[in-house]
Structure 1
Amino acid sequence: MKRTYLITGATKGIGRATAERLAAAGHGVVGIARQGDDPDFPGTLVSADLGDRDQAEAVFSDLAGRFDFDGLVNNVGMIKPQALGEIDLDTFDAIHALHLHPAIQASQALLPGMKERGWGRIVNVSSLTIFGLPGRTAYGSAKAAMVNFTRTWALELARTGITVNAIAPGPIETELFRANNPEGSDREAAYLAMVPMDRLGEPREIAATLEFMLGEDSGYMTGQTICVDGGASVGRAAF
């Protein structure tokens, strides 16, 4: 069955890989990104600064009126590492706002239509950093809040036909990862040392799990956070 999905942070990394996978499966995709001028995007692409609360509210309201959305991927985010002793509260607040406000706004905008149709999928993109990582006070706590959103909304919507789940990727080869961890750097090596598989994940591997979470066969799974991380959340490999 053809479905229609909304993806925030849709032009790069996990968002882009998910858009391409869903479109290849015959689904309709609407993406939101700060830069919406990508002619190769596999669907409808809308330009919006989701860090602007009023602009985000207007965009989500407009899209909810134009499309009958069956699912949502709350993926937009940013990383600005800061260790304790160097945490700037304005930066901390901005990171939380960009991760959490659009997730709430988008979910609330799409919720009435999903309830009316008795079917829906909300997937929140969290992160392995929910288990703790140096320099990730803001990012990790925002991603932990996404897990709380997932569990809370799953309970609230359990009898509506709408499921809510989260995915917690480990280190993935994306533009965002590379901006903070150049290839061959000590930072990259530190991440690889955490992963028993000894490699970075690929966006397409996260997209594959997201496709399942958004699909017909995941209807009895809700409130769950799935780690896709090369085993990093389990422990270190024995060599």
Structure 2
Amino acid sequence: MTHTPERLLVTGGASGIGRSMAEEGAALGWDVAVIDRDKAHASQSVTADLADPDATASALDEVLARGPVTRLVNNVGAVFPNSLQEQTLAEVDAAYALNLRCAIQCAQAVLPGMKEAGFGRIVNMSSRAALGKELRTAYAASKAALIGLTRVWALELGEFGITVNAIGPGPIATDLFTRANPADSPRTRAIVQSVPVRRLGTPDDIAHTAGYFLSDRAGFVTGQTLYVCGGMTVGVAPA
């Protein structure tokens, strides 16, 4: 009898934090599917614009055609930085479409398979910006909404063996972050000094946390938001 590996779906898993989470899942022995605009290094890579609900639906159909998904990481997101005065309603709509609607749509798609298995793990990628950060009206609102959804889904789905948790990353040294914040720039040094552990996080810091939430061992942990931020959310950080 051939054992079929359990399946993990990561949205936005072609680079940065998402790629590290996909690699973590593969290392843990799961069959990993990734949906992203770009081609991903995964067992199954589906390219799609997750800001488009129809494209998202088609991508989910393609993933689920290979079998049910029992682990989901809602990772895809975009920032749309702007002041309140300059934030456009189009940016607000775009933030909610990618950061929130996509998470709901993905969870709805995989839920039947999780219920049938009597087991499921959902991890929603929020942000420390949900607690407040300048120039993040659309982003912070959508990421705070993910925390609310995490708590609601935990209450609704616990009886089916499904847990739902969120991660709030602090400043993470992804390629995108590093290009915008060179290591020797005063701005980057100020960010590092604002972190109690005096370093930037790495994508693996987030992936290892997600790996725990996604594991069998996390069955009594649900509805929680863990800020993986080097201590920045303990007090008021200047950066």
TM tier, shorter chain?
Answer: over 0.9
1:146 paired residue number: 146
Does the residue aligned with 1:66 lie in a helix, a strand or coil?
A: coil
- Please show how residues 198-209 of structure 1 align to structure 2 within 5 Å: 198-209=198-209
Partner of 2:100: 100
Deviation string 1:91-110 (CA, Å, 9 cap, x unpaired) is 12111211111101110000
Within 5 Å, give how 1:77-96 maps onto structure 2. 77-96=77-96
Among candidates 22, 25, 37, match of residue 25 of structure 2: 22
Name whichever of 228-237 and 68-77 sits farther off: 228-237
From 34, 37, 41, the counterpart of 2:37: 34
Change (3 A) 1:73 1:177: same
CA deviation digits over 1:143-170, x for unaligned, max 9?
Answer: 1011011001111111010000001111
Cα distance in structure 2, aligned partners of 1:180 and 1:97: 25
Amino acid at match of 2:90: D
Moved more, 77-86 or 216-225: 77-86
Structure 2 segments unaligned to the other structure (5+ residues): none
- What residue in structure 2 maps to residue 13 of structure 1? 16
Shift of 1:180: 4.3
Q: Is the 8 A contact 1:196 1:235 kept in 2?
A: no
Residues 127 and 169 in structure 1, CA contact (< 8 A), matched pair in contact too: yes
- In structure 1, stretches of 5+ residues that fail to align are none
Amino acid at match of 1:13: G
Greater shift after overlay, 42-51 or 56-65? 56-65
Equivalent position amino acid for 2:61 in 1: S
String of CA shifts for 1:110-160, please: whole Å, max 9, x gaps: 000100110000000011111111111111111101101100111111101
Residue 206 and residue 222 in structure 1: after superposition, are their counterparts in 2 closer, same or farther (change >3 A)? same
SS at match of 1:158: helix
**For this pair of structures, how many residues does the alignment match?**
234
CA shift, 1:3, in A, is 2.2
Give, as a single letter, the amino acid of the residue that structure 2 aligns with 1:3: E
Pick which of 192-201 and 100-109 moved more. Answer: 192-201
Q: 1:236 to 1:86 in 2, by over 3 A?
A: closer
1:72 deviates by 0.2
Question: Relative to structure 1, is the Cα distance of residues 228 and 145 closer, same or farther in structure 2, using a 3 angstrom cutoff?
Answer: same
Q: SS state of the match for residue 105, structure 2?
A: helix
1:43 CA drift (Å): 1.9
Q: Which amino acid aligns with 1:98?
A: L
SS of alignment partner, residue 60 of structure 1: helix
Give the superposed CA RMSD: 1.7
Q: Any idea what the Cα deviations from partners look like across 1:3-33, whole Å, max 9, x if unmatched?
A: 2100000011111001111112221100011
Q: Is the 8 A contact 2:47 2:59 kept in 1?
A: no
Q: Which amino acid aligns with 1:114?
A: M
TM-score by length of 2: 0.92
